[in-house]
Structure 1
Amino acid sequence: MIREHQLDKYPYMPTDIIFGDHFDMGDSYNLRRPTGIDNWLIVYTLSGEGYFRTPSGEKRCGAGQIGILRAGVPHEYGTVKGQRWNFFWAHFRKLPESDYLPNEEILIHGLPEGYLQERVYSGFRNFFHDSQDRSSFWVSLCENTLRDIILLIAQRLEKKIDSRIEQALQLLSQTMANEIRIDDLAKSVGLSSSRLSHLFKQEVGVSVLEHLNGMRLRQAALLMEHMGRTATEASLDVGFNNYNHFATLFRKAYQMSPRHFVNRKDPP
């Protein structure tokens, strides 16, 4: 982690094609580039808040948000007054995946708490390890990490799904084998049970239970096909406590019984 007194580590813009670090800066931190730079900048805020000023105006980047600044854009950025800004950052040459993003001078995008924030956090940690280790293919490894993050953002922007429903989907995916109550799920995402049910159906196209059962069935099929689990074992693994109910749903989804699926010679 770099603090103010360590900034002499970066007296000028490094010449590497890809580089980054972890900063924790007070509100005296400010950097101004009136003519822009010839590479892209991505930041991920862990806590506190930073600001970006470009010809189109000012945007702020708070906890759980990613900022992506395009090459060639005149800019100024720093820590918002009265705060500290704890953030990851990386400079990189333009990647093909960048074309999937909106054509904005500085894009600020928030990630919901849970899996996506953890994935991006881990991605940056891997990025720093690879960039410091500099073993074979380190540039490609670093670029692949940034590609993953950029594509995640592009995918979220394309979906335009309500962040609370996205969080609910992540919780369902992470806990599908457990008993799941709508009341508990609704409380976790800050909605009433009725509002969650209505909004989920509106955003996803099916009810919470239908989506959950669909995930469980797909996971059971994978366990039977690739992990050698029996139909009964797979049904229990994914959270079905009643085998007959599992078999009925499976037959409807796959047009065959679970045991026939296990014993078939050719994939459907």
Structure 2
Amino acid sequence: MTVSADGLPETAAEPGAPAPPSGLVVVGHFDQPPGYRVERPRGADSWLFTWTTGGRGLLRHGSTQARAAAGDLVVLAPGVPHGYGVEPTASHWEFWWAHCRARPTWRTWLRPYDVGAGLYVVTPTPDAVHGRVEAAFRRMLADARWTGADAPPAPVAGEEPVAVAHGTAARELALCSLEEVVLLTAGTARKAPAQPGVDARVRRAQALIDADPAAPHSVRSLAEHVALSPSRFAHLFTGQLGQSPMRALREARLRHAARLLESTGLSVDRVAAASGFASAPHFNRAFRERYGRPPGAYRSDGPMVDN
């Protein structure tokens, strides 16, 4: 939850606590008591990722502030003055953290959660993913210690709570685990609220489309999933959502294609196929009509607005 920066508690650490240099991958796990605080008036050269597992934290980034509770991923972009510590009314703050250079594709996933000045608050995440996220951080801590000889070490309970990935392979392995954290949290948080007055069967059909837009959906297959006749389903869907099922499918496929263009290096032809379009020319026409630019220009220039 985003709150005002007024009333931020005084620091309990020396002002200007150093951050790891840009380019390093550093990961750790802390359980800190009341009074713990770090202040960096010049910010950091690297990104800071925090995942709370217990208690509550309070993080400030520029003039924006956020509280973090169990299951919240809070990310601070580089170059902005920041501070963080135990929330004043909390008994402790237990959290995983990682300093690193963020992979460019992560920004696409985090963008919907930007609450200002490069502070990303990814919440709420469903309980079902919490265990896997924590396991990814534990694996990141172990992988950061890999020397390149033999197999990477297995996570061990009670091991040293901070690790620095020195070798190239160790850094990449550690970043792969952090990428899993970003995908799991950003991909499951903040689901759109149910539209009031929309039939549950229509909502289920829309969820099927959104979950896998590239699948060979048809009016008949969607109707079968929600136990309606094709004609009754099409009439109900169009009347309640203002567009036909196939129009909704086309929009979902174009949104999916836009995300692939922003976050992958796939060719336009492969993006078209991965988004469910039968041919690249058809995809190019539809994409230009929806976004005002062909796919190649969209990838080069970036989106003009969130989509």
TM-score (normalizing by structure 1): 0.55
Aligned to 1:112: 125
Structure 2 residue runs of 5 or longer lacking an equivalent are 1-12, 150-168, 209-214, 216-223, 226-307
Aligned to 2:142: 129
Residues 143 and 56 of structure 1: CA distance in aligned 2, closer, same or farther (over 3 Å): same
Residues in 1 aligned to 2:200 and 2:174: alpha-carbon distance in whole angstroms: 36
Aligned to 2:88: 81
For the 8 Å contact 2:74–2:121, the answer to whether it is kept is: yes
Correspondence for 1:13 among 13, 19, 23: 19
For the 8 Å contact 1:39–1:71, the answer to whether it is kept is: yes
Give how far 1:75 is off.
Answer: 0.6
Structure 1 residue runs of 5 or longer lacking an equivalent are 1-6, 166-194, 212-217, 219-248, 251-268
Q: What letter is aligned with 1:107?
A: Y
SS in 2 for 1:152: helix
Residues 124-165 of structure 1: per-residue CA shift (max 9 Å, x gap): 0100011123436211111111222223344346x8334xx9
Residues in 2 aligned to 1:153 and 1:205: alpha-carbon distance in whole angstroms: 24
Aligned to 1:161: 192
Query: How many correspondences in the alignment?
Result: 173
For the 8 Å contact 2:51–2:72, the answer to whether it is kept is: yes
Q: Map residues 109-258 of structure 1 onto 2, 5 A cutoff.
A: 109-135=122-148, 137-156=169-188, 160-162=191-193, 201=201, 203-205=203-205
Residues in 1 aligned to 2:142 and 2:42: alpha-carbon distance in whole angstroms: 31
Residues in 2 aligned to 1:201 and 1:32: alpha-carbon distance in whole angstroms: 51
Q: Percent identity?
A: 27
Aligned to 2:59: 52
RMSD: 3.6
Residues 34-87 of structure 1: per-residue CA shift (max 9 Å, x gap): 111100000000011001112232211111111010011111111011320000
Give how far 1:201 is off.
Answer: 4.2
SS in 1 for 2:145: helix
Moved more, 132-141 or 18-27: 132-141
Residues 39 and 203 of structure 1: CA distance in aligned 2, closer, same or farther (over 3 Å): farther
SS in 2 for 1:141: helix
Aligned to 2:104: 96
SS in 2 for 1:205: helix
Residues in 1 aligned to 2:199 and 2:50: alpha-carbon distance in whole angstroms: 31
For the 8 Å contact 2:18–2:40, the answer to whether it is kept is: no
Correspondence for 2:30 among 11, 18, 23: 23
Residues in 1 aligned to 2:134 and 2:184: alpha-carbon distance in whole angstroms: 13
Residues in 2 aligned to 1:96 and 1:18: alpha-carbon distance in whole angstroms: 15
Moved more, 125-134 or 198-207: 198-207
Structure number with higher helix proportion: 1
